[in-house]
Chain A
């Protein structure tokens, strides 16, 4: 599904990612953990094509699609979804409008007809149910006045509506209460069963208690310094990153 090779990224001429290799096969969940400032969000933004994140070497393929050739909106339509660490407010635009525009833009890209109004309403209700969001929230403006946890859930709601093939979750678990964590995990597991892949960025084992990752990678100093199975996360929880930071420096 996602294949990244020798991925190097700089921000404002500062090298941040110094050569990342990563391979997430269909239906797998990979977790990325790492100290603050190690480049996790940078990886997310560079994959999504955000301005200011310059990929100066390497490749990133989503299936057959060369992500680096595409505009951000086309990467999204090709199946890449980023759940933001800090979701953005879009005042005056209701959730319904926003999601309908997004869904129809993606369908247009794939050469499909716009979604029928009734089908869309159903889709939204269903998604809200899966994620445990009050459907009333859909009438509100995108992220405006949402609590921290609601914003995170809202990212998951959008994921459930857009049904991407690869979901990159940047610390979606931070700020979620225990029930929300369960509901979000449940939503992720359901999509995973449909063959979709996930890149989970997290600082905490508690998310991984609900979503068992196939692989865990440690990102430090702009490199992947260690990879292992789900047990690696437990080791990290116990020991922290001190060893890696020394080796990365």
Chain B
């Protein structure tokens, strides 16, 4: 009957839509010479008009990095990365003197962001959804920030939201004070590499007592071929301040792997609160595992003040390889760290992800909710470290770690590291592994819900606790993404 044909066509259309952001923009680029050397670093630093202290900092990092070896403790397998066979800087030519106003931004770039569903013109943003709160956006294209919206509105409240390259020039004292203060230069191989060659990312500064009036968001787009993206983000919130920040990421569909090595540092003072959400949708590679982004990321927040709170939420659906452990250093007494994660791996994707919670202050609390979904031939590991230092009287941690498997060829692993040096602390760990059961699927289908949609609904139900922590503006998108990422995983 014709009705079934319709349904099949719809399903096929859905399957084709699987990675909707795989297009690339044909735009004239300004690129650093291939390979990694002091010259490359000098090139980047010059492009960014950096002061000499920044260049020195990069050189030191580079010297350290050359003495380090790539870590291989994660449960990931990939061919050796040739760090000399890549570009470390690429920027649209038209952007070489960064336009002050959107009308001067290359229309091709604006069109790219419109196609990605990210309107950069403030009026379009406002005109978009009725009653929706505006979101301020910093758009990073390969190695440069091409536009930052609502800067003026934010500045009225004293909030600084700008590309980090700009902050290095305009707010050197702040950057010098905090850059590398949470993730030291030589923290790990990838963070060290980032410190040497980072290109752009966002800088956020929330002054004392200011509740940031809108969501801040950075949108990372990798476009250039064979080019690594080295994002660097720094967020500092003074006493009693609040900010909610979201980052999104996409990349074109290409056969060759590309490297994304980011460092994100958060600092929260007394009673400050930072909510950091990520919707990671880098190109995951194809069904056979060709291409895709290698995502090696170091994200860490320091609750330096009393009662400070940092909350990480991540929805990781993209990348061929994910290596990522956003964590919190709970230094201030009564400070709180939370980590909510949904990681989805399909086809040949691999993810080794989790969190690190380090309890230093008294009565510090941490909460970890990690939901892993594996389908196809994908492999996923939750790796979490909870450490309670000797002085952290009354520290409490709760960890819940659930895995959902779709099909028989994927894997899920849980590796919790727990160290408690204080006898007055409480650490609780729960874990479960389950499958999408036939009875749930049949129940949905008997109500008319097609199988693929049913999988999406059931998985979104499984992730609900995490999805609920996302800012409302992004929750719906994230739910759609979860469903789309799993298309083709059944039957």
Binding site for B on A (CB under 8 A): 48, 50-52, 65, 69-78, 81-82, 84, 87-93, 97-99, 101-103, 105-106, 108-111, 141, 158, 162
Contacts and interface: CB of A to CB of B under 8 A. Distances in A.
Contacts of B129: none
B102 interface: no
B17 to A, nearest CB: 16
Nearest to A106: B448
* 6 A-B pairs closest in CB distance: A92-B461, A92-B464, A102-B447, A93-B461, A88-B443, A76-B448
B442 A92 contact: no
B462 A162 contact: no
25 contacts: A52-B438, A71-B445, A71-B451, A72-B442, A73-B447, A73-B449, A74-B3, A76-B447, A77-B448, A78-B3, A81-B446, A81-B447, A90-B440, A92-B460, A92-B464, A92-B465, A93-B457, A98-B457, A102-B444, A105-B449, A106-B448, A109-B3, A109-B7, A110-B3, A158-B447
A162 B454 CA distance: 17
Interface in B423-482: 438-440, 442-451, 453-454, 457-458, 460-465
A106 B447 CA distance: 8
Contacts of B10: 108
A92 B463 contact: yes
B458 A93 contact: yes
B462 to A, nearest CB: 6
A199 to B, nearest CB: 14
A78 B448 CA distance: 9
Given A74-B4, A101-B444, 13 more contacts: A48-B446, A52-B438, A71-B450, A73-B454, A74-B7, A81-B446, A81-B447, A82-B446, A89-B440, A92-B463, A98-B447, A102-B449, A108-B10
A90 B464 contact: no
B1 interface: yes
Nearest to A44: B446
A70 B447 contact: no
Contact of A73 (B1, B445, B462): B445
A188 B463 CA distance: 36
Interface string B284-299: 0000000000000000
Contacts of A89: 440
A97 B454 CA distance: 12
B173 interface: no
A170 B449 CA distance: 20
